[in-house]
Amino acid sequence: MPVKKTVPLLFIFSFVFLVTTAQQVTKMNYSLLKKMSNTRLADREIAVFVKGDVEQIKNNVENLGGVFKYAAGNIAAVRLPLSKIPRLASLGSVQRIECNDMKLQPMNDQMVIKNHILEVQNGFGLPQSYNGEHVVAGIIDEGIDFTHPDFRDEFGRTRIKYLWDQTITNFDSATQAHPYGYGKEYIGNQIDTSTQHFDSPFSHGSHVAGIAAGGGLAVNNYKGVAPKADLVIVKMNLNQPDNDFLSSLVDAVKYIFDRADDLGEPAVINISLGTYYGSHDGRDIQAQAIDNLITAEPGRAVVCSAGNAGTAPIHLGYNVTPDTSFTWMQFSSLSMYIQLWGDTADFEGVNYSIAAERVKPGYSTLGRIPFSNVLAHPGVIHYDTIYNDTNRIAIVGSFAQYWNGNYSVELEVFPDSVMNINGPDTSRYFYELLTTGTGRLDAWSFDMVFDNLPDSTVYPAISRYKTPDRDQTIVSSFSCSDKVITVGSYINRNFYTNVNYAVTRDTTLQPGALSTFSSHGPTRDGRIKPDITATGEWLLSCGTQSELNILSATEPDKVAAGKKHKRSSGTSMSSPVVAGIGVLYFQKNPGATWQDFKTALLNCAQTDNWTGTSLPDNAWGYGKADGYGVVKGCNVGIGEPGDYDYIDFAVYPNPLSATSVLYYDLNAMGAFKKAEISVYNIIGSRIKTLLLQDRENTVAVKKWDLAPGIYFCSLVIDGKPVKSLKLIAE
């Protein structure tokens, strides 16, 4: 008789089912239950978010010996031993408790020209030049090289006002950032004496900070978008053993906003980090907590990268039918993992299973677990075993839950030793997700098989195969919030002078084209993401001196002349461009809100031959970021101070056809002496002034009067601009 194999992942047998009520269990997510079910972790303190009555949560957490850190609206950030979580969950005032196991990862001259930043820094057609002064640029990343000249002023003083390094553990408690209880905080001149803080080996944080706010003093080049902004830096710990990343990230958001409040300044935060797992709809409570922090006061905005999975087929979405469909998964580590998501009405009729299949030398199903659905085992971690006769092939863990309008199922497959990476040939075996019933699902996994599929003559069942796609490859959680501005990438340049004063060139890159790696939306609930694109491919910005020295010796083509900057690419690099534009916007409009900034950003977006005119879409968002348009004002509500909402000012058609019409209505306005429309080109030079004789009328603009390009039409009353709009001449 065959002998059953022993699963090498022994830790899964340390899981025990919780003795709690169904009501308590359904308040918690999979990663929290997974930690709680490991009895060896019972006394471990963990960071969680708790949604509900904040005062009652605070009192009960403190009574249980935990730490109440802060509240973001009705969401509390707390630390509590795992063994105390069930008691907190039993409170009627607690709606939801979550931790997170999704690992954040970094998402990484011409930039100031292509994004129309130079016009703002030079003050063309503006009340003054804008450089980010007295506004905080908050950078949440892997650290910063605080010695780099681009992060100092012209007197050599650091521009970093606060730095919180979450990775440092050997600290004096007096120097930790309060009320968070971990890491070490440096203030002002303390930063220059630090011997513990470092950027990552690949300079990711320094590169991002340089794009947003580098001063350009190192070699008098490669200036960032907001070169005089005050910097507040948080170094994330991306190697935490219990992966509390989204918890510590929300801590970082609050920390920066609080420090900006201490300085009495607006703040724009850049997050070039993300996770590809989650609901992709911005409904998780980590995203809600960030939303609450953004909306708590004016003068706050958060910008993030869309992700670099534009070429990765990690998404699976389809309508489920009674005909059984399947998708293969192939493992490359100790387990395979996939998340299924659906809305209530779409998901209750979906039945799913996991099977093991031999694919070499022929195709045959070795065994599968019974079909189940989201209603079968709600709120508990459930295990099934796949057998082939009496041989155990794999153990499948599943967790199903309902929260905030969503159903989700998380499936993790632990292969037996015969299928393990230590086995003879893992390519001989696939695992397959099977579905049948009615409804719709969306799924995300990096383990799905998308190429080298057999044709139907070899394997007839392949006609029922659901192939993963490259849609909805955007990162999840806060990136999918309407209140967070999510940025895709297009190509910045294809040549520059390197450290050896030779030209580094790649003629396959076409400046202006969408970066192939730039992740696509939409969100799972069908909203446009990314919101906007900016230059993110082949950007030159700061690097740590240690990395630049290594690259200069081994890969000099990646280092720019002067040996203070390097080339990087990614949506990590496009996001700080937009964050820097936000800093300039809030310098001009310190009392504005996130919504004001986002409206300006989207309404003033550029379009061109690369974007096309059928925008918004889920690759470009609303188009390419236009810093000058955002700061100067190009539409209702985002013009010069003193805009009058009751004045009508519009143009149609736009882009300009043979003749377009500027329409204005000043009947609701009181007495005035003079009204005119001024037309400016993209660098702020006035090229035409049209005097208005009536309170209501139209003015024709003819195509042959304007060269192709982007123009701004300002309605001016008694010398004061009151409304502005963008006009495109093709």
Q: Are 164 and 253 in contact (CB under 8 A)?
A: no
Is the confidence at residue 7, as pLDDT, over 70? no
Q: Are 302 and 257 in contact (CB under 8 A)?
A: no
Is the confidence at residue 638, as pLDDT, over 70? no
Give me 88's structure tokens: 């907190």
Q: What is the pLDDT of residue 664?
A: 87
Q: What is the pLDDT of residue 106?
A: 57
Reported as a pLDDT band with limits 50, 70 and 90, residue 1 is very low
Q: What is the pLDDT of residue 244?
A: 57
Q: In sequence order, what are the residues at sequence separation of 6 or more whose Cβ sits closer than 8 angstroms to the Cβ of residue 526?
A: none
* For range 685-711, the mean pLDDT: 83
Pick the CATH number of 11-98 from 3.40.50.2300, 3.40.50.740, 3.30.70.80, 3.40.50.300: 3.30.70.80
User: Which has more confidence, 640 or 285?
Assistant: 285
Domain 105-310+474-603 - what CATH class? alpha beta
Is the confidence at residue 19, as pLDDT, over 60? no
Q: State the average pLDDT for the chain.
A: 86
The Cα 426–Cα 416 span in angstroms is 11
Give me 656's structure tokens: 């300009």
- Residue 206 exposure: Cα atoms within 13 Å on the Cβ side: 29
* For range 645-653, the mean pLDDT: 76
Place of tokens 């003093």: 217
Is the confidence at residue 645, as pLDDT, over 70? no
Identify the three-state secondary structure at position 707.
Answer: coil
Q: What is the pLDDT of residue 391?
A: 86
Question: Residue 315 forms beta bridges with which residues?
Answer: 444, 469
Give me 266's structure tokens: 């607006």
Reported as a pLDDT band with limits 50, 70 and 90, residue 104 is low
Q: What is the pLDDT of residue 727?
A: 81
Which phi-psi region, left, alpha or beta, contains residue 593 (left: φ > 0; alpha: ψ -120 to 50)?
beta
Chain-centroid distance of CA 527 in Å reads 15
* For range 549-576, the mean pLDDT: 93
Does 105-310+474-603 match 643-729 in CATH topology? Answer: no
Q: What is the pLDDT of residue 555?
A: 94
| pLDDT tens for each residue of 349-366 | 999 999 999 887 888 899
Q: What is the pLDDT of residue 680?
A: 79
Residues in the chain: 730
Domain 643-729 - what CATH class? mainly beta
Q: What is the pLDDT of residue 114?
A: 83
The Cα 316–Cα 330 span in angstroms is 15
The Cα 633–Cα 713 span in angstroms is 10
The Cα 538–Cα 568 span in angstroms is 6
Q: Are 469 and 316 in contact (CB under 8 A)?
A: yes
Q: Are 267 and 162 in contact (CB under 8 A)?
A: no
* For range 311-337, the mean pLDDT: 91
Reported as a pLDDT band with limits 50, 70 and 90, residue 725 is confident
Give me 365's structure tokens: 């199903």
Is the confidence at residue 61, as pLDDT, over 80? yes
Reported as a pLDDT band with limits 50, 70 and 90, residue 641 is very low
The one-character DSSP state at 617 is B
The Cα 67–Cα 293 span in angstroms is 20
Q: Are 47 and 244 in contact (CB under 8 A)?
A: yes
User: Which has more confidence, 173 or 461?
Assistant: 461
Which phi-psi region, left, alpha or beta, contains residue 4 (left: φ > 0; alpha: ψ -120 to 50)?
beta
| pLDDT tens for each residue of 465-495 | 999 999 999 998 899 999 999 999 999 999 8
Query: Among 97, 60, 54, which Cα is nearest to 73's?
Result: 54
Q: How far is CA 122 from CA 117, 118, 119, 219, 590, in A?
A: 9, 6, 5, 20, 20
State which fold the 315-464 domain adopts: Jelly Rolls (2.60.120)
Q: What is the pLDDT of residue 421?
A: 41
Q: What is the pLDDT of residue 105?
A: 56
| pLDDT tens for each residue of 503-515 | 999 999 999 999 9
Q: What is the pLDDT of residue 662?
A: 87
- Give, rounded to a whole angstrom, the gap between the first and last alpha carbons of the chain: 78
Q: What is the pLDDT of residue 351?
A: 96
* For range 532-546, the mean pLDDT: 94
What are the extents of the domains in the chain?
11-98, 105-310+474-603, 315-464, 643-729
Is the confidence at residue 443, as pLDDT, over 70? yes
Identify the three-state secondary structure at position 411.
Answer: strand
* For range 626-643, the mean pLDDT: 64
Query: Among 377, 526, 328, 336, which Cα is nearest to 440's?
Result: 526
* For range 498-524, the mean pLDDT: 93
Look at 391-400, 563-572, 636-645 and tell me which has the smallest mean pLDDT: 636-645
- Residue 488 exposure: Cα atoms within 13 Å on the Cβ side: 34
Q: What is the pLDDT of residue 40?
A: 76
Q: Which helix (H) or strand (E) holds 69?
A: strand 67-72
Look at 101-105, 660-664, 721-725 and tell me which has the smallest mean pLDDT: 101-105
Percent of the chain at pLDDT exceeding 70: 90
Which phi-psi region, left, alpha or beta, contains residue 359 (left: φ > 0; alpha: ψ -120 to 50)?
alpha
Q: In sequence order, what are the residues at sequence separation of 6 or more whose Cβ sits closer than 8 angstroms to the Cβ of residue 317?
A: 440, 441, 442, 443, 469, 471, 472
Look at 123-132, 376-385, 684-693 and tell me which has the smallest mean pLDDT: 684-693
Reported as a pLDDT band with limits 50, 70 and 90, residue 226 is very high
The Cα 246–Cα 236 span in angstroms is 10
Percent of the chain at pLDDT exceeding 90: 50
Place of tokens 């031999």: 358
